[in-house]
Copies of this chain bind each other. A is one copy, B any other.
Amino acid sequence: MTAISQAYPDRVEVRGRDLAGDLMGHVGFTEYFHLLLTGDEPTDEQRYFLDLLLVAIAEHGLLPSNVAARMTLAADPGSLQGAVAAGILGAGSVVLGASEECAQLLEQAVAAGREPDEVAREIHSAGGKVPGFGHPLHKPLDPRAERILALADERGVSGPHVAFARALRDAVAREWGMPLTLNVAMPIAAVLLDLGFPAVAAKAVPILARTAGLLAHLAEEQEHPIGFLLAERAAQASD
């Protein structure tokens, strides 16, 4: 009932290919992730941007999820998987879910042929927040977002979703009366959609990427433990 893979005594078949003979040694992990997720090998541009977006979002300093994972490993040093799981649980709506919300907004707006000004006005007058705008640290620009947009243009993959994301930046600035940072979530969603990725990729890509970042923090935690210190300082700070 799954079309992804099937294991037999003498071979493993993944998406209709022989894992040992056709894939191992022939495809990189990024291409393989695309094959697993979509059933197809990526085009060159799909692979290039999948790499780019995974690199863009994997790591960003002592994020709350990295801190939570390090505290968890300090408390349970034998379970790397437990600490990774604790960190992934922080990939929620506020922190990493924005790409998913951006993808929904872009998909619906482009499909319905809506105007960015109208979308911005509607959200603003309902007292809402436009997903993908604002960042606690990166002001006025998020360097990762700008870099993704520049490469999308340079390599000719920018399409209607990237165009809408850009126009939305101007519309938001007009509607809110000041520029808001277009953060990394919006270009991730826009580029994935323009390259034909399924909507689930807008959440799956950040989760895979952050797993790599979490593993790096946990490897560092094993060598140089700061988990309990972080917890202690956090708790003292709160007195």
Contacts and interface: CB of A to CB of B under 8 A. Distances in A.
A2 interface: yes
A153 interface: no
Interface of A: 1-12, 14, 19-21, 23-25, 27-30, 32-33, 36-37, 48, 50-52, 54-56, 58-65, 67-68, 71-72, 74-86, 88-97, 137-139, 141, 143-144, 146-148, 151, 198, 200-201, 203-204, 207-209, 211-213, 215-220, 222, 224, 226-231, 233-235, 237-239
Contact of A86 (B5, B62, B89, B96): B89
A64 B75 contact: yes
Q: Is the interface of A mostly helix, strand, loop or mixed?
A: helix
B141 A10 contact: yes
A217 B19 contact: no
Contacts of A238: 1-2, 62, 226, 229-230, 233
Contacts of A218: 200, 204
Given A77-B93, A235-B62, A144 B55 contact: no
